[in-house]
Structure 1
Amino acid sequence: MSPLEVQQLRDNTPGCLSGIVHFNHAGASLPSQATLDAIIEQLQREARDGPMEAGEHGAALIEQARRAAGQLLNAPASSIAFASSGSTAWSMAFQALGPWQPGERILVGRHEWGGNLASMELAVHAGARVEVIPCDETGAVCPVALEAMIDTNVKLIDLTWLPANGGLINPAQAIGAVARRHGIPYFVDAGQAVGQVPVDVQALHCDVLKSAGRKHLRGPRGTALLYVRPAFLQHLNPAQRDVFSAPWNANGYDLRNDARRFETSEVSAALLAGLGNALQEINRLGIERAWERVRQTSARIREALRQIPGISLHDLGATHSGLIAFNLAGWDAFELKRRLGLKRINIGANGVAYTPLDMQARGLSSIARISVSPFNNDHDIEVLLTALRELRD
């Protein structure tokens, strides 16, 4: 991306114009003005014409968003459902796999998102077991070790692709190849991947993939994507149904034969209009170009952090994402986040609950987290580094 393109992104982002330095894109990024406009326009349409009466236009906007999501993920639009959060989307798909039986096994990476593990408790109570796939020498989930764990009791392989607590990029495609070879359902938590790195669900061999709209996609809070491989849909029986997901016909109520079986009739067309605009923006920008910009910027920040005494980085893996986990000696991660916030510098901070298996394995009680967007520039970087040096002193 050229400096002019980066500046154009910033000029179209109200948060950048306000003077905030935002490095918390893994928590929630800053929306563009066009995304805000799309939300407001639909709200105004509903206020002017009536919320239900504006529904036809809202439905068209939702379908535009669905097509844009399919384009980004290399998936048919019919395989995309929308939800209120990534955790909700994942949990709905997981529950639809049931019922679980004693002795069935769920294989997860050590870096599994805590919310997914919480949902798995339903299966554990039914007698299933959650087992951790060993890591390789870099700390990433090991496909070879996974292969050795496979037996007829494995009902699900689940992978958090880019964990919340650091820069690891797990080998999602290689894990998917193992799952597909053995005919085992494969779920991918791509909450930190979609909008940051190229995502091709065909290459991943995944059956289910989810992501939040508020993170690297720069969409509104309260939105999320759920991809379900069309041929896998028949294996998912959602517990939650209404007149939209299971419409009535002469034979009774039948589940939809596409991913919309996970949706309900009551949705925010305004929020999904905003998400649709955000999806169209990343498609126009090009995810490969956005990822290259994030990769370069985060590499610069990592190198600069290594030069600051007292800072320890907590990266795993051979290649790294735009999530930079670190600690500053003498500082609690959450207090560091608060103090930087007083300077109008936003970063993230995670405790054990976000990625409990990995945090406990590495003896980490908390981490501070910098996460990068294509619109972060040299000025943002210098402001952040200057503040960290000042706090160190």
Structure 2
Amino acid sequence: MLTEKDIQRFRKETPGTEKVIHFNNAGSSLPPQAVRHAVINYLEEEMTYGGYETNEKYAAQISETYTSIAKLINASAEEIALVENATAAWHAAFQAIDWKEGDVIIATQADYATNYLSYLHLQRKVAVEIKVIPNLASGELDLKALENMMDASVKLVSITHMPTNGGLTVDAEGVGVITRKHGVLYLLDACQSAGQYPLDVEKIGCDMLSATGRKYMRGPRGTGFLYVRKSVLPKLTPYVIDLHAAEWTGENTYIIRQDARKFESWEGDRANILGLKAATDYILEIGIDNIWKRLQHLSSILRKQMANLPMVTVQDIGAVKSGIVSFTVEGKSAEEVQAYLHRQGINVSWNGVSNTYLDMTARNLKEVVRAAVHYYNTEEEIEVFIATLKEMKA
């Protein structure tokens, strides 16, 4: 349980909290000082002593990044690949599958645009079929329907754990029970749940998981990771390889490495990797369970107070809600709301139909504003946010 003293410490270690009320954590969080120091210190050494030489000096710490991330999600270090963002991680897994004509992809109504566009793009090359799990009236996945959809043609179940809008937390563990029963590959997009939710790949049962560093993990932009279960690694062939992912053994032969690093490339941002390690270690120190409880507490307060504003409609669904609070303001576009709040020193973001086409159209929404809180936010900031919304409508 985080105390008031803890929160004040986190805010002191996050200088940005003195400048803005940052409710755009689902876009990109404010990193703590530990992340800044890790990145800048490495860059200063690189500038002074050389890139390769600095890499050699910090090789052990860079390697420990895999261990830290593995600990966060209850995996092993050899199941982790470090990549430049969540999209690269997700695509590394998705494109490594041996797709055949007639294969079925099972997706969700709330899938993020990039994921669904990738299904559609694959269809132009291979005659795969896309099926969408229906939602219950509450907005949650109909797991009974998913069970009925499973047959020998299903190649992949692809789930967005915490959609970009709607406040929903998908029952990822419930999906895992079904995919394990039928022996079907399960890819979890944890872009907005990593660093927010207690991810445990053994409990979830996913075979692959993609995540970014910049959102709830509070790491640098340009960082991300991919988890691939050991038993699944031999079944996946990277779409792209280089001399890091494979060894050239003869004029016409090569060997692809056996661990998840076969999905990496040799070149990468070592400074940002150490920044990601610092961010991960910061989460581990605080405790992901503590973070999740704090987020549920703050987002619940925010939803309740917003529900009392006559011109505001909270657009969240599902039984278990994330720290992402979606809403609309009568008579104002989402972009107008964002711009107004920004002028008052409050950061939020907004999504349009193209971000989650199926979800938005099914719910007759054209756009939503997102106020995404994190554990370093406070009840006082929520009060300022609510008062500012009231003033906008005055």
Which has the higher mean CA deviation after the structures are superposed, 121-130 or 8-17? 121-130
Alignment of 1:342-353 (within 5 A): 342-353=343-354
- State whether structure 2 residue 207 is matched by structure 1 residue 207: yes
Which has the higher mean CA deviation after the structures are superposed, 307-316 or 250-259? 250-259
Distance 1:59 1:204 in 2: 32
Corresponding residue for residue 167 of structure 2: 167
Corresponding residue for residue 63 of structure 1: 63
Distance 2:357 2:200 in 1: 28
Corresponding residue for residue 294 of structure 2: 293
Cα deviation, 1:188-234, whole Å, max 9, x if unaligned, reads: 00111110010000011101001110000000000001100010011
Corresponding residue for residue 274 of structure 2: 273
Q: Aligned-residue CA RMSD in angstroms?
A: 1.1
Post-superposition offset of 1:256: 1.1
Corresponding residue for residue 36 of structure 1: 36
Distance 2:143 2:63 in 1: 37
Corresponding residue for residue 3 of structure 2: 2
8 Å contact 1:43–1:270 — kept in the other structure?
Answer: yes
Post-superposition offset of 1:253: 1.9
- State whether structure 2 residue 316 is matched by structure 1 residue 315: yes
8 Å contact 1:59–1:269 — kept in the other structure?
Answer: no
Distance 1:152 1:63 in 2: 40
- State whether structure 2 residue 108 is matched by structure 1 residue 109: yes
Distance 1:111 1:155 in 2: 20
Which has the higher mean CA deviation after the structures are superposed, 58-67 or 139-148? 58-67
Amino acid at match of 2:219: G
The percentage of aligned residue pairs carrying the same residue is 38
Distance 2:129 2:95 in 1: 15
Post-superposition offset of 1:27: 0.4
- State whether structure 2 residue 125 is matched by structure 1 residue 122: no
Amino acid at match of 2:341: L
Distance 1:364 1:129 in 2: 27
8 Å contact 1:163–1:169 — kept in the other structure?
Answer: yes
Corresponding residue for residue 179 of structure 2: 179
Post-superposition offset of 1:245: 0.7
Cα deviation, 1:81-132, whole Å, max 9, x if unaligned, reads: 111110111011101103x222211001111111111122232121101111
8 Å contact 1:58–1:273 — kept in the other structure?
Answer: no
Post-superposition offset of 1:53: 1.2
Corresponding residue for residue 188 of structure 1: 188
Which has the higher mean CA deviation after the structures are superposed, 221-230 or 116-125? 116-125
Segments of 4+ in structure 1 off by > 4 A?
Answer: none
User: What is the number of equivalent residue pairs in this alignment?
Assistant: 391
Alignment of 1:224-373 (within 5 A): 224-249=224-249, 252-373=253-374
8 Å contact 1:313–1:325 — kept in the other structure?
Answer: yes
Cα deviation, 1:324-367, whole Å, max 9, x if unaligned, reads: 00001111011211111111100110111221111111111110
**3-state DSSP of counterpart to 1:247:** strand
The gaps in structure 1 that reach 5 residues or longer are none
Distance 1:252 1:60 in 2: 31
Cα deviation, 1:298-328, whole Å, max 9, x if unaligned, reads: 1011110011111101111112111100001
Amino acid at match of 1:247: E
Alignment of 1:71-86 (within 5 A): 71-86=71-86
8 Å contact 1:207–1:229 — kept in the other structure?
Answer: yes
Distance 2:211 2:354 in 1: 19
Post-superposition offset of 1:61: 2.5
Distance 1:315 1:308 in 2: 15
Distance 2:57 2:367 in 1: 45
**3-state DSSP of counterpart to 1:292:** helix
Distance 1:353 1:15 in 2: 31
Post-superposition offset of 1:59: 2.8
Corresponding residue for residue 147 of structure 1: 147
Post-superposition offset of 1:388: 0.5
**3-state DSSP of counterpart to 1:54:** helix
Distance 1:337 1:130 in 2: 35
8 Å contact 1:58–1:270 — kept in the other structure?
Answer: no
Distance 2:42 2:153 in 1: 49
**3-state DSSP of counterpart to 2:358:** helix
Distance 1:48 1:21 in 2: 37
Corresponding residue for residue 378 of structure 1: 379
- TM-score, normalised to structure 1, is 0.97
**3-state DSSP of counterpart to 2:246:** coil
The gaps in structure 2 that reach 5 residues or longer are none
Distance 2:12 2:355 in 1: 33
Cα deviation, 1:232-270, whole Å, max 9, x if unaligned, reads: 011111111111011234693211111000111100000
Which has the higher mean CA deviation after the structures are superposed, 297-306 or 352-361? 352-361
